[in-house]
Chains A and B, each alone.
Chain A
Amino acid sequence: MLELIVISTLNGVLFGMLLFLLSSGLTVIFSMMGVLNFAHASFYMLGAFFGFQLTKWIGFWPALVLAPLLVGAIGMAVERYGLRNTHKHGHVAELLLTFGLAFAIEEIVSMIWGKSPLDYRVPALLDFPAFTVFSTNYPAYKIFMLVVSVVIFVALLLVLKRTRVGLIVQAALTHPHMVGHLGHNVGRVFMVVFGVGSALAGLAGVIAGPALVTQSDMAASLGPILFVVIVFGGLGSLPGAFVASLVIALVQTFAVALNGSLASAFGPLDPSTGPSVLSDIWNVTIAQVAPIVPYLLLVIILIVRPMGLMGTRES
């Protein structure tokens, strides 16, 4: 049991940090621009595919730097030539633009790299078990992922607290309407923020690619969870996104690890009742419902506390 708890915690924290890496970019973009970027997970996917391709050509470490930059550049282009022109039509139009973009990116990626999972490997340097807990190896690459996520998290906080752009972003987090009136080159700030947000997603893609699957549906499978994270944490709240990432990742990991069901807790139903909704619910294990738990959390929090866990604004 202890073994399971330790391993699950490690796995949960790891997944949580990855989620945070993605949701931080999304949160900053949202608070600055009011745009929920549906294509954010697509940028993550682009990061993984660029990472794969560049690793093939120039090796993993240069790719780790270059791929996110590329993704960031694409993000900036999207902001400059897409979102900026759509802005006048309102947030719904902007949201729909990114929605269409997500569609297009997925298809472009599968056009170029195919639809099967790619052979994107962990770099040889990190391909060894870092330590062993309860006779289970913990791969070094996962530790590496953890470290990168934490470093980015700390760096992000420092940038936000200590630099001018950071101050503007901070201001945007709390007083979104003020920033526009302060005479900054709002356009350029938006572009940079969008670029940085995308680059963060790209970085997450590069490092998550070898550990998870690099496949053209990876964006679609992760996207909805990201929205859950940032809405759950509170739209526009970085600490909220951080907490929500960890909570959701841990809840999901632990849900998987548990075997319990109502049947195991209260004994099986009378078999004569036959199959019904009740028996479905009675016999389903926590592990089986693990994937819907985040959505359940989302709906509950929006009902109970519509501004999210640590949010200050409603929308």
Chain B
Amino acid sequence: MRKLTLAIAVIAPMLGHAASAQDTLKIGYIDPLSGGGASVGEGGLKTFQYLAEELNAKGGILGKKVEIVPLDNKTNPQESLVQAQKAIDAGVHYITQGNGSSVAAALSDFVTKNNTRNPGKEVLYFNYAAVDPSLTNDKCSFWHFRWDASSDIKMEALTNYVKDTPAVKKVYLINQDYSFGQSVRSDARKMLGAKRPDIQIVGDELHPLLKVTDFSPYIAKIKASGADSVITGNWGQDIALLLKAAADAGLKVNWYTYYAGGAGGPTAIKQTGLDHQVFQITEGFANSGNKAAMDYEKAFRAKVGLSLWYPRAVNEMRMFKAAAEKANSIDPVKVAAALEGLKFEVLDGGEGTMRKDDHQFFQPIYISSFGKLTESEPYDEENTGWGWHLVSKVDTPQTIVPTTCKMARP
């Protein structure tokens, strides 16, 4: 039987997919499900599948069952386009993706072209994690919506926090050498310079993306610089190895990170023993203190066996439902129009808004630190016994950044 399905599944792409049944609403999930990025992609997939089930339990979206179609892009832009095309050919009108700004840029461009060339068969692209600011600035598209805070928003929030933290005096920047790392670096320089001109930037490093196996030489440089804080956008093994090398060398600084909470990050921090010295900037986290969010976390963990990395995915799916209901249609053009300017109470509390100008979602941002937990903080990460602890909440108004987007509307 199984062989048969396998055979059918292999033959299927040749025959093409028959038009989908009318009672399901398919969302193409395009992220790495094999290869290096697969652990992250699988976590995201489980999250979206959980959310779809949750929506379906409450009657779906406008009575339609939501189905997540997993599509493996191997973190490769080209492959993503193949998968997106595959999804569109199979009758998918909504795709969501998060890992890799290069993939996001390719997808946004692809969707925009597709929609102009195939009027009546539009596709919306929901971005839940790609944070390159250009996606809502010079490369912005009417068909792209972003729920994650872009890297400049996060930096705006972080620098607003640093503004009131006099202990930060000497900052070292270390980032991955590609567009995201470069935008973190330039935003940090610009915003720190404006808000805290007294802060000294004692180092500014770009290292090759995911290629460094030993960060000791970099740690030696940080140490030599006399920095008290490090700001880094590193993710994946680049953050884990960086922290590991820091702990090995006995470097005592505070780490302000974007992605220390990603898969493997908490394990690495616990291993290094950097108790409450590693900070992250997110739109929500397990111990945020918001009752609803914490209950949600509990249910999610019980069912999925992972912590909720993507509170924004919850916002995304719920807002999708809200917009569809507001438009009373699942036609992508109408949903897109309904999403513009939509205000929404986010999972971790507080109001967020989908800015019409550039389709960037603005929401409260949290700065939390990783370490030993108190009584009121029930959730640890990756079974380390340590978890995220609230340091500061930056409200929506303090996260607004300008945009250069000149959107072409249909």
Tell whether A7 pairs with B220 under 8 Å between CB atoms, given A137-B248, A217-B36.
yes
Min C-beta distance of B232 to chain A, whole Å: 15
User: By the criterion CB–CB under 8 Å, are A11 and B214 in contact?
Assistant: yes
How many A-B contacts at CB < 8 Å in the complex?
88
Chain B 176-221 residues near chain A, CB threshold 8 A? 177, 205-208, 210-214, 216-221
Please name the residue on chain B nearest to A289 by beta carbon.
Answer: B208
User: By the criterion CB–CB under 8 Å, are B208 and A290 in contact?
Assistant: yes
**Per-position 1/0 for B32-71, Cβ under 8 A of A:** 0001101100100000000000000000000000000000
Please tell me which one of the listed residues B42, B240, B248 contacts residue A139 in the complex, with CB atoms under 8 A apart: B248
User: For A285, what are the chain B residues with a Cβ–Cβ distance below 8 Å?
Assistant: 206
User: By the criterion CB–CB under 8 Å, are A135 and B223 in contact?
Assistant: yes
User: For B42, what are the chain A residues with a Cβ–Cβ distance below 8 Å?
Assistant: 115
Does B338 touch A at the CB level, under 8 Å? no
| Surface stretch bound by B, among A92-100, A116-124, A170-178, A240-248 | A116-124
Min C-beta distance of A114 to chain B, whole Å: 7
**Per-position 1/0 for B360-399, Cβ under 8 A of A:** 0000000000000000000000000000000000000000
Please tell me which one of the listed residues A11, A119, A142 contacts residue B217 in the complex, with CB atoms under 8 A apart: A11
Please name the residue on chain B nearest to A7 by beta carbon.
Answer: B220
Complex: A114 Cα to B305 Cα, angstroms: 15
Does B267 touch A at the CB level, under 8 Å? yes
Min C-beta distance of A151 to chain B, whole Å: 21
Does A301 touch B at the CB level, under 8 Å? no
User: By the criterion CB–CB under 8 Å, are A137 and B38 in contact?
Assistant: no
Please name the residue on chain B nearest to A136 by beta carbon.
Answer: B249
Min C-beta distance of A188 to chain B, whole Å: 36
Does B408 touch A at the CB level, under 8 Å? no
User: By the criterion CB–CB under 8 Å, are A291 and B249 in contact?
Assistant: no
Please tell me which one of the listed residues A15, A117, A222, A257 contacts residue B237 in the complex, with CB atoms under 8 A apart: A117
Tell whether A137 pairs with B217 under 8 Å between CB atoms, given A217-B36, A285-B206.
no
User: For B21, what are the chain A residues with a Cβ–Cβ distance below 8 Å?
Assistant: none
Complex: A119 Cα to B207 Cα, angstroms: 24
Please tell me which one of the listed residues A3, A15, A137, A290 contacts residue B224 in the complex, with CB atoms under 8 A apart: A3
User: By the criterion CB–CB under 8 Å, are A117 and B264 in contact?
Assistant: yes
User: By the criterion CB–CB under 8 Å, are B38 and A110 in contact?
Assistant: yes
User: For A3, what are the chain B residues with a Cβ–Cβ distance below 8 Å?
Assistant: 220, 224
User: By the criterion CB–CB under 8 Å, are B250 and A129 in contact?
Assistant: yes
User: By the criterion CB–CB under 8 Å, are B241 and A212 in contact?
Assistant: yes
Please name the residue on chain A nearest to B209 by beta carbon.
Answer: A291
Please tell me which one of the listed residues A119, A137, A256 contacts residue B218 in the complex, with CB atoms under 8 A apart: A256
User: By the criterion CB–CB under 8 Å, are B237 and A215 in contact?
Assistant: yes
Please tell me which one of the listed residues B207, B216, B264 contacts residue A116 in the complex, with CB atoms under 8 A apart: B264
Complex: A119 Cα to B220 Cα, angstroms: 24
Does B271 touch A at the CB level, under 8 Å? yes
User: By the criterion CB–CB under 8 Å, are A213 and B240 in contact?
Assistant: yes
**Per-position 1/0 for A184-225, Cβ under 8 A of B:** 000000000000000000000000000111011100011000
Min C-beta distance of B378 to chain A, whole Å: 22
Q: Which of A115, A119, A137 is packed against the most chain B CB atoms within 10 Å?
A: A115
Please name the residue on chain A nearest to B204 by beta carbon.
Answer: A259
Complex: A205 Cα to B177 Cα, angstroms: 28
Complex: A291 Cα to B241 Cα, angstroms: 16
Chain B 255-308 residues near chain A, CB threshold 8 A? 263-264, 267-268, 271
User: For A256, what are the chain B residues with a Cβ–Cβ distance below 8 Å?
Assistant: 207, 212, 217-218
Chain A's interface size range is 35 or more
Chain A 127-175 residues near chain B, CB threshold 8 A? 129, 132, 134-139, 142
Tell whether A288 pairs with B206 under 8 Å between CB atoms, given A116-B39, A121-B271.
yes
Complex: A129 Cα to B237 Cα, angstroms: 23
Min C-beta distance of B116 to chain A, whole Å: 29
Min C-beta distance of A192 to chain B, whole Å: 30
Please tell me which one of the listed residues B39, B213, B223 contacts residue A115 in the complex, with CB atoms under 8 A apart: B39
User: By the criterion CB–CB under 8 Å, are A213 and B39 in contact?
Assistant: no
User: By the criterion CB–CB under 8 Å, are A257 and B39 in contact?
Assistant: no
Please name the residue on chain B nearest to A292 by beta carbon.
Answer: B208
Chain A 1-21 residues near chain B, CB threshold 8 A? 3-4, 7-8, 11, 15
Min C-beta distance of B245 to chain A, whole Å: 9
User: For A257, what are the chain B residues with a Cβ–Cβ distance below 8 Å?
Assistant: 217, 220-221
Q: Which of A3, A11, A117, A216 is packed against the most chain B CB atoms within 10 Å?
A: A117
Complex: A224 Cα to B249 Cα, angstroms: 28
Please tell me which one of the listed residues B213, B219, B249, B268 contacts residue A212 in the complex, with CB atoms under 8 A apart: B213
Q: Which of B39, B223, B248 is packed against the most chain A CB atoms within 10 Å?
A: B248
Tell whether A114 pairs with B214 under 8 Å between CB atoms, given A3-B224, A215-B237, A257-B221.
no
Min C-beta distance of B246 to chain A, whole Å: 10
Tell whether A11 pairs with B240 under 8 Å between CB atoms, given A4-B224, A116-B264.
no
User: For B248, what are the chain A residues with a Cβ–Cβ distance below 8 Å?
Assistant: 137, 139, 142
Chain A 222-263 residues near chain B, CB threshold 8 A? 222, 253, 256-257
User: For A212, what are the chain B residues with a Cβ–Cβ distance below 8 Å?
Assistant: 213-214, 241
Min C-beta distance of A199 to chain B, whole Å: 22
User: By the criterion CB–CB under 8 Å, are B214 and A291 in contact?
Assistant: no
User: By the criterion CB–CB under 8 Å, are A213 and B220 in contact?
Assistant: no
User: By the criterion CB–CB under 8 Å, are A115 and B36 in contact?
Assistant: yes
Please tell me which one of the listed residues A15, A117, A121, A134 contacts residue B214 in the complex, with CB atoms under 8 A apart: A15
User: For B218, what are the chain A residues with a Cβ–Cβ distance below 8 Å?
Assistant: 256
Q: What would 19 A/B residue contacts be, using CB atoms closer than 8 Å?
A: A4-B220, A4-B224, A8-B217, A11-B214, A11-B216, A11-B220, A15-B214, A117-B264, A135-B223, A137-B248, A142-B248, A211-B214, A213-B240, A213-B241, A217-B36, A221-B210, A253-B217, A257-B220, A290-B208
**With A115-B36, A291-B211 already in contact, 10 other A-B pairs whose C-beta atoms are closer than 8 Å:** A7-B216, A115-B42, A121-B271, A132-B250, A136-B249, A213-B213, A257-B217, A257-B221, A287-B205, A291-B208
Interface residues of A (CB under 8 A from B): 3-4, 7-8, 11, 15, 110, 114-117, 119, 121, 129, 132, 134-139, 142, 211-213, 215-217, 221-222, 253, 256-257, 285, 287-288, 290-291
